Amino acid sequence: MAITIRDVAQAAGVSTATVSRALRGLPNVDDQTRQRVCRVAADLDYVISPSASRLASGRTGSVAVITPYIARWFFSTVLSGAESVLASAGIDLLLMSVSNPFGQMRLPPAPRLRRRVDGALVIAIPADDQELHEILDLGMPTSMIGVSVKGVPSVTIDDVQASRTATQHLVNLGHQRIGLIGGAPVSPPFTAGHDRRRGFMDVLAETGLSFDPSLESYGYFTIDGGERAMTDLLNQPVRPTAVFSMSDEMAFGAIRAMRNHGLQPGRDISIVGIDGHEVAELLDLSTVAQPVQDLGRIAAEALLEQLDGHADRQHQVVQRLATQLIVRGSTAPLT
């Protein structure tokens, strides 16, 4: 049906081997020959069959991006960064989401990867997740974002530091009774939730501030969760004068909760987040911004290096990108 390499070979008066070499830009092909082959191929509107090429070469020319969420801001932004790099490199990007909320029956990711892709880009799957380790055990080139696992290249921010920055900002403003909106009661090591809690606690300890456990609440990194968490905090006998939210989106929810209680961010209670979400500016939310798109871009580049054999997985390092405190109206000096 479709044009094959044989048709091109015949029309150009060469062998299929030569066509293959010419079209792929391999060396050891006469310039004249290459020109002719390319022209004939274009004339015939020939496109290579990826399936055949993959079968014969053993390479798929594609990588999987594995993510727990697609529509959330952080994840879609990382994804777009990764896509731009992979597309430029001519690599197909297979999108795979894992453990979706409705628990639909779908195959675990690891089996789906085998023989299907050359590598995997994993976005923010907790370091102790079983599916993650099944993926890593595949031994294929892998690059991770937002988590680190020993021996696997990854790109993250310094979560402890980001959290310290946010907390210190509140302390500097004179706050002493500071609430914390975290992800979940228990966060595995090497995840954002874990490290950000630690940065928070460290600053409190160093500053000699005590931490009231009733001032810790959990928003599960969603807007609604943040609202509930803040509502909890507001229902405490003695309210905090400032709150550190581990993500901007939870802070958005927290702001809504404050409004529902007739409170105004910055005036009545200070609040700071982490992310640098576009909407944070609209809500006048102070935040520690992270370069989310770069996270995806750089992780994709690290993956490409592994695919090209320029680097060994074992020799890769954890890359930490810088964050930046952005002060807005939601944080103000304690009056």
CA 267 – CA 294 distance, rounded (Å): 34
Q: Which of 20, 60, 306, 331 binds its own copies (CB under 8 A)?
A: 60
* 13 or 108: CB nearest DNA: 13
Q: Quick check: helix, strand or coil at residue 110?
A: helix
With vertex at residue 190, the alpha carbon angle to CA 188 and CA 194, rounded to the nearest 5 degrees, is 55
Q: Name the minimum Å distance from CB 98 to DNA.
A: 24
Q: Are 181 and 217 in contact (CB under 8 A)?
A: yes
Burial of 185 (0-12, 13-18, 19+ CB in 10 A): exposed
CA 271 – CA 332 distance, rounded (Å): 9
Q: Which of 7, 83, 301, 305 binds its own copies (CB under 8 A)?
A: 83
Q: Quick check: helix, strand or coil at residue 269?
A: strand
207 binds, among DNA, its own copies, none (CB under 5 to 8 A by kind): none
5 binds, among DNA, its own copies, none (CB under 5 to 8 A by kind): DNA
Q: Name the minimum Å distance from CB 154 to DNA.
A: 30
Site string for its own copies, 2-21 (x = CB under 8 A): x-------------------
Residue type, 156: T
Query: Of 32-40, 81-89, 146-154, 197-205, which part binds its own copies (CB under 8 A)?
Result: 81-89
* 152 or 283: CB nearest its own copies: 283
Q: Select from 266, 290, 269, 270 the least CA-distant residue to 278.
A: 290
- Report if residue 115 touches its own copies, rule: CB under 8 A: yes
Q: Name the minimum Å distance from CB 282 to its own copies.
A: 5
317 binds, among its own copies, DNA, none (CB under 5 to 8 A by kind): none
70 binds, among DNA, its own copies, none (CB under 5 to 8 A by kind): its own copies
Query: What are the two backbone dihedrals, phi and then psi, of residue 325, each rounded to the nearest 5 degrees?
Result: -75, 130
- Report if residue 205 touches its own copies, rule: CB under 8 A: no
* 109 or 193: CB nearest its own copies: 109
* 94 or 173: CB nearest its own copies: 94
Classify each residue of 208-225 as buried b or exposed e, where b means 16 or more C-beta atoms within 10 Å of its C-beta: eeeeeeebbbbbbbbbeb
Q: Which two tokens stand for residue 93?
A: 């990007």
Q: What residue ranges bind DNA (CB under 7 A)?
A: 1-2, 4-6, 13-18, 20-21, 23-24, 27-30, 32-34, 46, 48-49, 51-53, 55-58
Beta strand 286-289 with 324-326 is antiparallel
Classify each residue of 81-112 as buried b or exposed e, where b means 16 or more C-beta atoms within 10 Å of its C-beta: bbbebbeeeebebbebbbeeeeeeeeeebbeb
* 49 or 236: CB nearest its own copies: 49
Q: Which of 69, 190, 200, 221 binds its own copies (CB under 8 A)?
A: 69
CA 316 – CA 257 distance, rounded (Å): 43
Q: Which two tokens stand for residue 157?
A: 């921010």
With vertex at residue 262, the alpha carbon angle to CA 326 and CA 283, rounded to the nearest 5 degrees, is 25
- Report if residue 137 touches its own copies, rule: CB under 8 A: no
Q: Name the minimum Å distance from CB 237 to its own copies.
A: 28
Q: Which of 23, 38, 44, 48 binds its own copies (CB under 8 A)?
A: 48
Residues in contact with its own copies by the rule CB under 8 A: 2, 47-52, 54-55, 60, 62, 65, 69-71, 73, 76-77, 79-80, 83-84, 87-88, 90, 92-97, 100, 102, 104-107, 111, 114-116, 223, 252, 255-256, 278-279, 281-283, 293
